[in-house]
């Protein structure tokens, strides 16, 4: 699981793609290749986090991310606690910092947090010694999702630089889109955002992307079509007439897929609104990576723990 070059991953926390350099990102992706070897062999455990405690602290629902972090930490021999927010003193009004300081006092080395407030992991990271990993903060960032997406693209297509990548759908509410835009820009891909003006406002062009409101024009010649989930739970007003209307104009079906490059990857972070963003038929095509993305999430999160632990050991060594 060593990195090929001698660059150092010099971060206490993983808060967002914004804080990472292209070299940092490549270190995670290169390291995840080794992690994937570990998870596919007969004995799937290595002792890198033996004696360390990882606490999953999810204030919003999750299937993939929480489970994936748990499996990744266990593969590295960590003790894992899934903190149950629903039955905790958070419901008696305990402040977020008090909750996390209590978890740290109980011996947590890593806190993996999902929260509805943008910036909450950054606030915690400044106030605790444990390493904080952002598992999604509001509409801001979801860095490990973007890292596992990049790993999947590189695994399938061999590179990221110079690829034509169309992100389609609810960009406005999507932390996944934001982290992907930041990452793909840093690694030199050409990004097109596709969707109705209400979900893909013109201001996004400041992020160094092309904006196209017509699906066929937006995905023409694309190497990768990345579909974002319509986030009904985050919409404060009706930004399009109905899911049926969205499906009719922006849903990806086999006929529309023909506008992209032949064999173009079809990606989605999940959970999918099936029949809205994508048809079942397209989900089951060989170029669909939806389940590969989930599998690769474990290897990428192992790589993140490995690199953060290296940085923690480095700091500890310097101070001893």
> Which spans of this chain sit near ligand CP (rule: CB under 6 A)?
62-65, 136, 145, 269-271
Q: Cβ neighbours of residue 315 under 8 Å, at least 6 residues apart?
A: 12
CB of 234 to ligand CP, least distance (A): 13
Tell me whether residue 62 or residue 77 sits nearer to ligand CP (CB atom).
62
- Nearest-angstrom CA–CA distance, 113 and 171: 22
Residue with tokens 């406002």: 201
CB of 123 to ligand CP, least distance (A): 21
Tell me whether residue 75 or residue 229 sits nearer to ligand CP (CB atom).
229
Q: Cβ neighbours of residue 313 under 8 Å, at least 6 residues apart?
A: none
CB of 181 to ligand CP, least distance (A): 16
Angle at 31 between CA 27 and CA 37, to 5 degrees: 165
Tell me whether residue 57 or residue 212 sits nearer to ligand CP (CB atom).
57
Strands of the 224-227 sheet, one edge to the other: 210-212, 190-194, 164-168, 224-227, 265-267
Tell me whether residue 229 or residue 247 sits nearer to ligand CP (CB atom).
229
CB of 259 to ligand CP, least distance (A): 26
Q: Cβ neighbours of residue 269 under 8 Å, at least 6 residues apart?
A: 64, 142, 145, 149, 176, 228, 229, 293
- Nearest-angstrom CA–CA distance, 125 and 26: 23
Q: Residue 2: what are its φ and ψ, rounded to 5°? A: -80, 155
* Cα–Cα separations (whole angstroms), residue 200 to 51, 171, 188, 211, 306: 46, 6, 21, 8, 36
CB of 2 to ligand CP, least distance (A): 28
Tell me whether residue 3 or residue 145 sits nearer to ligand CP (CB atom).
145
CB of 10 to ligand CP, least distance (A): 27
CB of 269 to ligand CP, least distance (A): 4
Which of 2, 130, 114 is CA-nearest to residue 60? 114
Residue with tokens 């999702």: 145
Tell me whether residue 63 or residue 117 sits nearer to ligand CP (CB atom).
63
Tell me whether residue 3 or residue 56 sits nearer to ligand CP (CB atom).
56
Q: Looking only at Cα atoms, what is the longest distance across the chain?
A: 63
């Amino acid at each position: 699981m060593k990195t090929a070059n001698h660059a150092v991953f010099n971060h206490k926390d993983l808060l967002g793609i914004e804080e990472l350099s292209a070299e940092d990102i490549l270190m995670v992706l290169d390291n995840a290749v080794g992690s994937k070897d570990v998870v596919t062999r007969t004995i799937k455990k290595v002792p890198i986090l033996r004696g360390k405690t990882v606490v999953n602290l999810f204030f919003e629902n999750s299937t993939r991310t929480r489970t994936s972090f748990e499996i990744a930490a266990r593969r590295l021999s960590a003790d894992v606690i899934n903190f149950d927010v629903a039955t905790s003193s958070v419901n008696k009004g305990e402040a977020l910092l008090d909750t996390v300081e209590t978890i740290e006092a109980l011996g947590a080395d890593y806190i993996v947090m999902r929260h509805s407030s943008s910036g909450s992991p950054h606030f915690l990271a400044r106030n605790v010694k444990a390493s904080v990993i952002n598992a999604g903060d509001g509409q801001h960032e979801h860095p490990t999702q973007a890292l596992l997406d990049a790993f999947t693209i590189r695994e399938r297509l061999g590179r990221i630089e110079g690829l034509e990548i169309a992100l389609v759908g609810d960009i406005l509410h999507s932390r996944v889109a934001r982290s992907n835009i930041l990452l793909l820009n840093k690694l030199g891909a050409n990004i097109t955002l596709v969707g109705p003006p209400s979900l893909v406002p013109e201001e996004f062009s400041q992020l160094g992307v092309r904006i196209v409101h017509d699906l066929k024009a937006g995905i023409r010649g694309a190497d990768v079509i990345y579909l974002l989930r319509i986030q009904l739970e985050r919409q404060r007003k009706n930004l399009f007439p109905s899911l049926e209307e969205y499906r009719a104009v922006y849903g990806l079906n086999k006929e529309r897929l023909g506008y992209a490059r032949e064999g173009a990857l079809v990606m989605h972070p999940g959970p999918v609104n099936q029949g809205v963003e994508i048809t079942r038929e397209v989900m089951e095509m060989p170029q669909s990576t939806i389940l590969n993305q989930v599998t690769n999430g474990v290897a990428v999160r192992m790589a993140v723990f490995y690199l953060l632990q290296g940085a923690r050991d480095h700091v500890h060594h310097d101070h001893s």
